Chain A
Amino acid sequence: MEDTLKIVVLVKHVPDAQFDRHLNGEGYTTDRNESILSELDEYALEAALQLAEARGGAKAGNQVIALSMGPSGAVNAIKKALQIGATEGVHLTDDALAGSDAAATSLALAAAIRHLGSDAPVDLVITGMASTDGETSLVPAQLAERLGLPQVTFASSLQVEGGRLTARRDADLSSETVEAPLPAVVSVTDQINEPRYPNFKGIIAAKRKSITTLSLADIGVQPAQVGFSGSWTSILAAEERPPRTAGTIITDEGDAGIKLVDFLAAQKLL
């Protein structure tokens, strides 16, 4: 029987990319109305659930903790994760966190993960390959650096055995097999699995699962270390790009390929 695992999955509520998104918040932060669980985080959650289930699931003592940092709306991402199958939810929220950049966010998340590991150590932190809003991909790497943990990014497969993980990474020019000791931080791609949907049983079960709320004081972080004051970058100005406008549209009358080349030649793109 494999050892049980305590896995933290980072989940984020992001503005739904199906709609227009805006930087209307204070300090050009993202407007998070109409937010949803980041699609790419569903793969991270599924990877965690599969590892837990292979070891007997929650009954055997495996934990899959959905951790989200953010204002009240972040609870929705946690609730969705609980419906899909996470065993518990943790919501890190504090007014002082608003405006945190990647450095401040990773500081707060690192402290939260240390806090969650204070009774029994966390074995794995799993994230999606990117957020669909900030798109900087900095937070997981900074989290690993702050926690002093190995990180495997872009895992397209993940196995854990005997306190070590093995993963496959698909880069553009090569595929790699990677090994690291636990605990570790792993980001998974959208090729690793097919995320499950919450079913009726899961939705009912989620109502009985607890969501723990943590403040900065709970995790030993000073307000000045995070938010706008604790950030190492600042946005000076943001300007909405004028939307692209349609150019010339023609219907093929048998010579559109030639006209296409004429257009490229006129644009000096040949």
Chain B
Amino acid sequence: MAKVLVFIDNPGDALKKSSLELLTLGRSLGETVVALNGKLHDDVAAAFAEYGVGTVLLPSAEDLDDFLVAPKAAYVAAAAEQAGAGVVLLDNSPEGKEIAARVGIRLNAGVITDVVAVDANGTAHKAVLAGSYNTSCKATTPVSVLTLKANNVTPEPAAAPTSPETVTVEVPAGSTAAAARITAREQKVASGRPDLTDARIVVAGGRGLDGDFTPVEELADALGAAVGASRAATDAGWISHDAQVGQTGKTVSPQLYISAGISGAIQQKAGMQTAKVIVAVNKDAESPVFEIADFGIVGDLFDVLPQATAEIKKRKG
């Protein structure tokens, strides 16, 4: 049976949902081997067993986090060769894509990013040009490297749990020589909200908020959602640049996208039009966002959002 290598970077003491999605997809394509970076916590090891992982590989070096991606890519490529993997799966984060890019060169393997599904024969499906086309594509090489977008696979434990063995992979010597070194790292204050790119629900605000994101944040918290923003709002400095959804920001495809005070010009649309359900609130009935909204409200977001927030809290008790 084909081997599928899944790269999981620093899971800490619990696997993220996107990692469980990778393990579930991987199992549908072959026998999964995990290439882990970081400590193998007991709970994580238990999750690997539950998800049917055959082998867990660990790097011989512990300083991979001190560098940008190059040494991690060298490790993943070495792990894929050691495991004899035909498919390498990574998450679709910017770092995941960069590692995939380099692993592709090291293994002479075709790389496909932004994958939403993979057929048993290896054909991958993805949306391109800001979600205006669906394409199916395939690596023409013996090994393929795929990065999977979050929220497209339902995590499912294996029918029969495994007891994975742990094996060390030698990180190629010299892989840190030509790498950029991280000399300082400042953790940002965690918002406690879900990660924007993985979130099941996103509430986003734009120009119409006029500097005050409170109604968007309160609705997001009532729904357990991530907060997003249009470029106009981030450029105005009303909210951190990390929150920007759109062509020059993040692309999200949540189950629900609530757009408040955003006109929905093409730059914003590019980042969110693959959301399953779109709700829009805007004062201007002519806003382009209403052309793509499943449910639109022409009204003042400072009335509508707080009312919705209060109603959700009431119903959730």
CA distance A28 to B248 in the complex (A): 24
Would A257 and B137 be within 8 Å (CB), given that A173-B188, A249-B293, A270-B316 are in contact? Answer: no
Shortest A178–chain B CB gap in Å is: 5
Please provide the chain A residues from 143 to 178 with a CB less than 8 Å away from any CB of chain B in the complex.
144-146, 148-154, 166-167, 170, 172-178
Identify the A interface with B (CB < 8 A): 17-18, 20-23, 28, 30, 39-40, 101-103, 106, 129, 132-139, 141-142, 144-146, 148-154, 166-167, 170, 172-181, 184, 190-191, 231-241, 243-244, 246-252, 254-261, 263-265, 267, 269-270
B158 contacts the other chain (CB 8 A): no
Q: Can you sample 15 A-B contacts with CB below 8 Å? A: A103-B105, A141-B98, A145-B73, A151-B68, A153-B69, A174-B187, A176-B182, A235-B136, A236-B136, A237-B136, A241-B131, A241-B132, A244-B278, A257-B303, A269-B256
B136 partner residues in chain A, CB cutoff 8 A: 235-238
Q: Is the CB of B308 within 8 A of A261?
A: yes
> Closest residue of chain A to B308, judged by CB?
A257
B48 contacts the other chain (CB 8 A): no
> Closest residue of chain B to A185, judged by CB?
B180
B98 partner residues in chain A, CB cutoff 8 A: 137, 141, 151, 153
CA distance A224 to B123 in the complex (A): 24
Of A18, A138, A141, A258, which one neighbours B266 at CB under 8 angstroms? A18
Contact with A along B294-317 (1 / 0, CB 8 A): 111111100111111111100110
Would A236 and B292 be within 8 Å (CB), given that A17-B267, A178-B180 are in contact? Answer: no
> Closest residue of chain A to B269, judged by CB?
A244
B94 partner residues in chain A, CB cutoff 8 A: 137, 153-154
Would A258 and B308 be within 8 Å (CB), given that A177-B183, A231-B140, A263-B279 are in contact? Answer: yes
Contact with A along B58-83 (1 / 0, CB 8 A): 00000000001110010000000000
Q: Is the CB of A236 within 8 A of B123?
A: yes
Q: Is the CB of B178 within 8 A of A148?
A: yes
Of A166, A247, A252, A257, which one neighbours B293 at CB under 8 angstroms? A247
Q: Is the CB of A102 within 8 A of B312?
A: no
Shortest B311–chain A CB gap in Å is: 4
CA distance A98 to B186 in the complex (A): 44
Q: Is the CB of B298 within 8 A of A252?
A: yes
Shortest B212–chain A CB gap in Å is: 17
B31 partner residues in chain A, CB cutoff 8 A: none
B247 partner residues in chain A, CB cutoff 8 A: 17, 132
Q: Is the CB of A141 within 8 A of B184?
A: no
Shortest A29–chain B CB gap in Å is: 11
Of B128, B178, B296, B315, which one neighbours A249 at CB under 8 angstroms? B296
Residue of B183, B247, B295, B306 with highest tally of chain A CB at under 10 A: B295
A133 partner residues in chain B, CB cutoff 8 A: 129
Contact with A along B243-278 (1 / 0, CB 8 A): 000011001000110000000001100100100011
B278 partner residues in chain A, CB cutoff 8 A: 244
Q: Is the CB of B273 within 8 A of A244?
A: yes
Of B140, B178, B273, B299, which one neighbours A256 at CB under 8 angstroms? B299
A135 partner residues in chain B, CB cutoff 8 A: 114, 128, 130, 251
Of A101, A178, A241, A260, which one neighbours B308 at CB under 8 angstroms? A260
> Closest residue of chain B to A269, judged by CB?
B256
Q: Is the CB of A259 within 8 A of B297?
A: yes
Would A250 and B297 be within 8 Å (CB), given that A39-B248, A141-B102 are in contact? Answer: yes
> Closest residue of chain B to A237, judged by CB?
B136
CA distance A181 to B296 in the complex (A): 53
Which 9 pairs of residues, A with B, have the shortest CB-CB distance?
A257-B307, A252-B299, A232-B110, A141-B101, A180-B180, A247-B294, A257-B308, A233-B110, A249-B296
CA distance A234 to B135 in the complex (A): 10
Q: Is the CB of A23 within 8 A of B129?
A: yes
Shortest B14–chain A CB gap in Å is: 16
B114 partner residues in chain A, CB cutoff 8 A: 135-136
